[in-house]
Amino acid sequence: MLKVLCVVGARPNFIKVAPLLKAMADFPGSIQPVLVNTGQHYDQEMVDYFFDDLDIPTPEVNLGVGSGSHAQQTARIMADFEPVCLEYSPDLVMVMGDVNSTLACSLVASKLGIKIAHIEAGLRSFDRSMPEEINREVTDLLADYLFTTCEDAGVNLCQQGIPESRIFFVGNVMIDSLLAYLDKAQRRPILNQIQLQPGNYALATLHRPSNVDDPEVLGELLDAFGIIQGGIKLVFPAHPRTIKNIERFGFEDRIKAMNNLTILPPQGYLDFLALMKSARFVLTDSGGLQEETTVLSVPCLTLRENTERPITISHGTNTLVGINKDKIISEAGRCLVGLPPSLITPPLWDGHASDRVVRTLLNIFGLVSSTGKTAAVC
């Protein structure tokens, strides 16, 4: 029996762990997942909505670490996760994505000699001013089994000296959730509730510190939103970090003056998926949204100078537009007149990535033969 501590903490982790837990449940005699929530995110709309929408079981362990500076948050997670590892003696710690919980738990597991599986390994923006880039690099160095969403991630890992034998190209677990829940999401009444017609609105999210912690940058982005909402209704479910900064910088009046902008609290997974699926285009700095819009064939304007997910540009609907107001406005204008992009889904973004992860692990640990669906190695 393979005992796996599955670590989650922040919103995108919940979406990734849901299909992995379901795939593990197909092998009840071989694999025993223990869900550990660090509590990096804690608001009802950042956590509970996702557990409900994605049918995630209640975590066996809650660390309740909450917010703090990077050092404080990372240190708290480490200090609280170490005794959990000692108590449960897992065969494997599974971490996902690039958040502080991912890094902190990888460090703890590594020092205790516990094997680590990293889901969504190898993504690189090559920009260390992004806290996530540091988390990605360190986690990948420590991980024993690196599961990638795309071939370029495997190339990045090889270039950083990670042996190819540790890399498994399995596809995208976040897309497993999207494909599993899309029909259910489309039955939600959210569009009617906020009086939206499919294709007649744009959807925005913002939460990167580089975009929302600096009043000049956030001000420029809001100026762009102000112009865009003059041409199409703009729906903006705002991250708590962004809401706090809008208040801190005194930008509430600018938002109120935008009559065609609807600012919402963070949305649950199903409602947000419904909003994304029917949007004319998306404006975002989110990593996950770049991938989801690619699969949904919705144009995505990424308000960043770089992306760790270039496959969403080469094989998807993503355009990097940066943070210059005029450029954002002109690209949004092109989305308003352009035809919807044709659908080219990246390889292995097919809804079965989690199954490949689990079968690969069972194979590595000698619990199932490698026949049947197995991972395609980088």
Residues that bind ligand UD1 (CB under 6 A): 10-12, 40-43, 46, 67, 98-100, 131-132, 207, 239-241, 244
Residue 131 or 215 having the CB closest to ligand UD1: 131
Residue 64 or 199 having the CB closest to ligand UD1: 64
Q: Which parts of 68-208 fold into alpha helices (H)?
A: 70-88, 100-111, 131-142, 151-159, 173-186, 190-193
| CA 5 – CA 31 distance, rounded (Å) | 11
CB of 165 to ligand UDP, least distance (A): 28
The full length of the chain comes to 378
Judged by CB under 6 A, the stretch of 215-223, 225-233, 263-271, 354-362 that binds ligand UDP is 263-271
Judged by CB under 6 A, the stretch of 160-168, 219-227, 286-294, 339-347 that binds ligand UDP is 286-294
Which distant-in-sequence residues (6+ apart) come within 8 Å of 305 by Cβ? 127, 320, 322, 323
- Residues 126, 131, 136, CA angle at the centre, nearest 5°? 60
DSSP secondary structure letters along 193-259: HTT--TTSEEEE----HHHHSSHHHHHHHHHHHHHHTTTSEEEEE--HHHHHHHHHTT-HHHHHT-T
Query: Amino acid letter at 219?
Result: G
| CA 345 – CA 284 distance, rounded (Å) | 20
Residue 35 or 232 having the CB closest to ligand UD1: 35
| CA 228 – CA 222 distance, rounded (Å) | 10
Considering only residues 12-41, where is the footprint of ligand UDP by CB under 6 A? Answer: 12, 15
Residue 80 or 176 having the CB closest to ligand UDP: 176
Contact pick of 267, 278, 293, 312 for ligand UDP (by CB under 6 A): 267
Whether residue 70 lies in the annotated active site: no
| Per-residue contact flags (x/-) with ligand UDP for residues 206 to 225, judged by CB under 6 A | -x------------------
Catalytic residue among 118, 207, 239, 352: 207
Residues involved in catalysis: 207
Report the interface residues with ligand UDP, using CB under 6 A.
11-12, 15, 205, 207, 237, 266-267, 269, 272, 286-289, 292
